[in-house]
Amino acid sequence: MAKNRIAILAALSVLSVVAFLTIGLRGNIAFVLELRAIKLLALSQVGVSIAVSTVIFQTVTGNRIVTPSIMGLDALYLFGQMALVFALGGLGYAALNPQLKFAGEVLVLMALACALLLPMLRSRLDMGLMLLAGVVFGVLFRSLHSLLARLIDPNAFAVVQGASFANFNAVRTDLLAFASVLTIAALIVAWRARHVLDVVSLGSDTATGLGITWSRTVTGLLVLVSSLVAVSTALVGPVAFFGLLVVALAERIVNTRRHAVLLPAAALTGIVILVGGQTLFQHGLGSSSTLGVVIEFFGGIAFLLLLVLGSRK
């Protein structure tokens, strides 16, 4: 049953990809196709990395309504970026090789995420505390980010300002090649860890009893999540509720939490929503609204529904 549903999801994502590439194709076809293919690669990568990072993060925290972005990981990424600008100055930052810069930002995020979140994950907090801590962390990182923004030179600020808002129309294509390598590596690791993730979802005591070295495994998974968050935030900027929406949908579609099924289902759902949604917006609605806003709207509603309907596990 789950297999059929994954097949349907796969068919839907192929459909959205084809529609994205071919609808309204005119003019210099080779040029347009290339342009669209690059954008497609970026969008699907964002969809997949947010979906997979959210699944892993929820499994590690044992909590289905927190996501990396609710816990402020993307704000942390932006903070790291701003800190780099602050340290190097606007010109120095702009002169850096973008790939090198991105690599540096990914490393900064991994280090900060491990330093801040690991103590919390040692012993699982209950949902309320975790959520509260997440909100506080998110606000803290955003405030630190804007504090730094005020301290730096306005010219330097202009360099990073563009990166602080989600924008599915203007993805950062210059980082694409590097980001693709990182995403694919992370996805391979996540897929290989699917059985371990199943065991981790049982909680630290049971997982330890079954031979998982808890702190090492959780650190590894957190690094994995950080790299995926860095990819999506670098490419389009912070997206608050997209991961929650995608994973909640995927989980209801396949009706299981087993990662061998849930990971591909969530990744495919991510592609369908982002690529399909973007197609719909570009051609169906004449770009009259932004996909980012709509996704956040429905994601926010999904968040509230999950809270109210008591799917608190």
Contact residues toward other proteins (CB under 8 A) are 62, 194-196, 198-199, 201-203, 205-206, 208-213, 256-258, 313
Whichever of 32 and 202 has its CB closer to other proteins, that residue is 202
Q: Residue 58: which of 262, 227, 238, 252 has the closest Cα? A: 262
Cβ 173 to other proteins shortest distance, Å:
38
Whichever of 172 and 257 has its CB closer to other proteins, that residue is 257
Q: Residue 197: which of 255, 268, 260, 267 has the closest Cα? A: 260
Cβ 79 to other proteins shortest distance, Å:
31
Tokens standing for 282?
Answer: 């570009």
Cβ 10 to other proteins shortest distance, Å:
23
Whichever of 28 and 123 has its CB closer to other proteins, that residue is 123
Whichever of 45 and 204 has its CB closer to other proteins, that residue is 204
- CA separation for the pair 129, 127 (Å, rounded): 6
Tokens standing for 261?
Answer: 């099924």
The conformation of residue 276, written as its DSSP 8-state character, comes to: I
Cβ 146 to other proteins shortest distance, Å:
36
Cβ contact 76:226 at 8 Å: no
**CA angle 105-106-109, nearest 5°?**
85
- CA separation for the pair 239, 71 (Å, rounded): 12
Whichever of 126 and 174 has its CB closer to other proteins, that residue is 126
Cβ 111 to other proteins shortest distance, Å:
25
